[in-house]
């Protein structure tokens, strides 16, 4: 068994290897294996896994790669994420990927799917649409068709068709993954010093670049380690961070929030891995229907999800209360329409619920956090003072 520090170092390395060597190495061991890259936020990874595929999350380049070519593809008023994703493709970081999925979250990602088509990257480049109709007989049918298209795409490459057994098995493995992640968040809620937000982030982000089986083992070990105390508790407030679901905040930003006196007890950084709340039914004759039901009825709130009838502001307040948070930090990527357009209403809900909040904007490659640290520090101090 590795020490927790070894595990954390390993996770950080896998999470930020922009050449995805770990995934490519996995693929090279069997000719039926395929790698399917997916953009934020969520895709039902089970259908890829069950087709002998490795779903690999492409979350941008952060501050680990200088953007040169990508900037020539995007105007200054478009967020950063797609620049890095294009740069990676042009720099051959993604060679060896068999296909790409672009989930419906915004028009940038949507149009990026077309750019990949024009650049002929991978054997398929699919915009993965989500039903915004939540009737199982209407939106549900549509969603099953979307998943079947992905299964066809993979079948056309490796001849492997996911069946009831393989899908049930994949669902079971991802259920374990989700449960373990939530268990870690539950422990952190009470003892956030045992695993910092940055460490948690590295562990989760590594999970989207390695097989779920391996990630489950890592999560189990981490969970074991944090059953007992690790680190020193500090006089920090507890916050939920919201709005960072797509373009990822730089690690320095997450660090700054914690160093300024705020324990992050929940967040939407790696939302895709935590999208489905609870288990997906794992022993059914119709696993695609099970995945569909999970999407229709167990989705986490998000800016990608039409929320009339169940407004996300109310759900954010409920999440903050459940986690015992003292405040909410709205932290969105600059020019991120989905996150930023949701913000005023969510803030209003916080005001009505009496939950203090502040907001930041960032780019994935922001290098200076002085101002953010000061703001978060003042936020923390004011809550401590008035609590």
Partner 1 sequence: MATPKDAIKEKSMIIQKEMLTKQFQELSKAKELGKKVVYTFVPGNLIELILAFDMLPVYPEINALQSGMRKKSGGFIKDAEKMGHSEDVCTYVKCDIGMMLNGNIGPTGDKIPEPDLLLLSYTGCFTFLKWFENLNRLYPNAEIAMLHTPYQEAGKMTKEQVDYMVKQLKEEVIPKMEKVSGNKYDPEKLKKLLRNSVQSEDYWVKILQTAKNKPSPIDAYFAGVYYMGPINTSFRGTEECVQYYKELYDEVTERAQQKLLPVTPEGIIPEEKFRLVVEGPPNWTNFREFWKIFYDMGAVIVASTYTKVGGLFDMGYRQNPEQPLESIAEYCMGCYTNMNLPQRVDLIEKYIKEYKADGFLINSIKSCNSFSAGQLMIMREIEQRTGVPVGFIESDLVDPRYFSYANIKNRLESYFQMLEQRKIILQQETV
**Which residues sit at the interface with partner 1, rule CB under 8 A?**
72-75, 77-78, 82, 104-108, 110-115, 117-118, 126-127, 129, 131-133, 135, 137-139, 141-142, 145, 303, 306-308, 311, 332, 334-338, 340-345, 347-348, 361
Give which of partner 1, ligand SF4, none residue 110 binds (C-beta under 5 to 8 Å, depending on kind): partner 1
Q: Which is nearer to ligand SF4, 11 or 333 (CB)?
A: 333
Q: Which is nearer to ligand SF4, 108 or 154 (CB)?
A: 108
- Residues 82-111 close enough to bind ligand SF4 by CB under 6 A: 82, 105-106, 108-109
Nearest to 336 by CA among 238, 249, 231, 237: 249
Q: Helix, strand, or coil here: 331?
A: strand
Q: Using the rule CB under 6 A, is 43 a contact of ligand SF4?
A: no
Give which of partner 1, ligand SF4, none residue 277 binds (C-beta under 5 to 8 Å, depending on kind): none
Least distance (Å) between residue 333 CB and ligand SF4: 4
Are the CB atoms for 331 and 243 separated by under 8 Å? Answer: yes
Among 35, 47, 61, 333, binds ligand SF4 (CB under 6 A): 333
Give which of partner 1, ligand SF4, none residue 246 binds (C-beta under 5 to 8 Å, depending on kind): ligand SF4
Q: CA 81, CA 94: separation in Å to the nearest integer?
A: 15
Structure tokens, 256: 């700054």
Q: Using the rule CB under 6 A, is 358 a contact of ligand SF4?
A: no
Among 337, 351, 352, 381, binds ligand SF4 (CB under 6 A): 337
Give which of ligand SF4, partner 1, none residue 343 binds (C-beta under 5 to 8 Å, depending on kind): partner 1
Least distance (Å) between residue 68 CB and ligand SF4: 19
283: Cα within 13 Å, side-chain hemisphere: 0
Among 46, 98, 199, 247, binds ligand SF4 (CB under 6 A): 247
Least distance (Å) between residue 111 CB and ligand SF4: 10
Among 48, 147, 181, 336, binds ligand SF4 (CB under 6 A): 336
Kindly provide the residue ranges of all beta strands, DSSP E only, lying in 66-178, ordered along the sequence: 99-103, 124-128
Least distance (Å) between residue 106 CB and partner 1: 5
Least distance (Å) between residue 234 CB and ligand SF4: 31
- Residues 287-316 close enough to bind ligand SF4 by CB under 6 A: none
Q: Number of residues interacting with ligand SF4: please give it, by CB under 6 A.
A: 14
Q: CA 313, CA 319: separation in Å to the nearest integer?
A: 10
Least distance (Å) between residue 99 CB and partner 1: 13
Kindly provide the residue ranges of all beta strands, DSSP E only, lying in 280-370, ordered along the sequence: 327-333, 357-362
Least distance (Å) between residue 241 CB and partner 1: 17
Instruction: Name, in order, each residue with C-beta under 8 angstroms of 318's C-beta and a sequence gap of 6 or more.
Output: none
Give which of ligand SF4, partner 1, none residue 247 binds (C-beta under 5 to 8 Å, depending on kind): ligand SF4
Interacting residues toward ligand SF4 by CB under 6 A: 79, 81-82, 105-106, 108-109, 246-247, 333, 336-339
């Amino acid at each position: 068994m590795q020490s927790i520090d070894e595990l954390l170092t390993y996770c950080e390395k896998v999470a930020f290897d922009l050449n995805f060597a770990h995934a490519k190495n996995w693929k090279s061991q069997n000719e039926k294996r395929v790698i399917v890259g997916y953009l934020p936020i969520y895709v039902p990874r089970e259908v890829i896994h069950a087709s002998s595929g490795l779903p690999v999350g492409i979350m941008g380049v952060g501050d680990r790669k200088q953007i040169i070519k990508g900037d020539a593809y995007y105007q200054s008023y478009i967020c950063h994420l797609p620049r890095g994703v294009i740069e990676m493709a042009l720099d051959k970081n993604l060679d060896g990927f068999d296909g790409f999925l672009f989930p419906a979250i915004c028009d940038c990602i949507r149009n990026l799917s077309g750019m990949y088509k024009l650049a002929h990257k991978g054997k398929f480049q699919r915009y993965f649409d989500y039903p915004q109709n939540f009737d199982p007989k209407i939106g549900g049918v549509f969603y099953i068709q979307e998943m079947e298209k992905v299964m066809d795409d993979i079948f056309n490459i490796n001849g492997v068709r996911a069946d009831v057994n393989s899908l049930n098995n994949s669902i079971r493995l991802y259920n374990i993954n989700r449960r373990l992640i939530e268990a870690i968040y539950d422990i952190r809620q009470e003892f956030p010093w045992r695993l910092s937000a940055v460490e948690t982030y590295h562990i989760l982000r590594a999970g989207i670049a390695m097989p779920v089986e391996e990630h489950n083992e890592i999560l189990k070990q981490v969970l074991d380690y944090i059953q007992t105390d690790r680190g020193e508790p500090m006089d920090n407030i507890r916050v939920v961070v919201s709005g960072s679901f797509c373009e990822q905040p730089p690690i320095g930003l997450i660090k700054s929030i914690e160093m300024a006196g705020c324990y992050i007890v929940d967040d939407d950084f790696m939302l895709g891995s935590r999208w489905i709340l609870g288990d997906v039914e794992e022993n059914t004759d119709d696993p695609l229907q099970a995945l569909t039901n999970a999407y229709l009825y167990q989705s986490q709130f998000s800016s990608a999800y039409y929320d009339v009838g169940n407004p996300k502001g109310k759900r954010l307040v409920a999440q903050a209360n459940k986690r015992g948070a003292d405040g909410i930090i709205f932290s969105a990527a600059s020019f991120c329409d989905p996150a930023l357009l949701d913000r005023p209403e969510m803030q209003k809900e916080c005001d009505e619920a009496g939950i203090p909040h502040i907001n930041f904007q960032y780019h994935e490659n922001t290098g200076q956090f002085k101002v953010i640290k000061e703001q978060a520090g003042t936020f923390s101090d004011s809550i401590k003072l008035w609590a």
